[in-house]
Amino acid sequence: MANLTYGTAEYYADMFADIMADIDHSDHSYGDAIVEGFMIALYEWRDYHAKQVDECNRVEQRVRQALTV
């Protein structure tokens, strides 16, 4: 990565370019794996954050019970 500022569009474009470099017109499995991998990452991140929200809700309930609020 060429000394790009983290979080900028150029930074992410450089990352995406690295991934897209694996696309091969003679073997569709690479492109398909990129799409599938992206979907897996989306699911895993969403699942993780949903579980974090559930845990925050559980802790909030414990605090409310402890403080009788």
Instruction: Render each residue's pLDDT in the chain as its tens digit; 69 residues.
Output: 568 999 999 999 999 999 999 999 999 999 999 999 999 999 999 999 999 999 999 999 999 999 986
pTM to 2 decimals?
Answer: 0.74
- Look at residue 2 in the predicted model and tell me its pLDDT: 66
- Please answer whether residues 22 and 34 qualify as being in contact, where contact means their C-beta atoms are separated by less than 8 angstroms: yes
- Look at residue 68 in the predicted model and tell me its pLDDT: 86
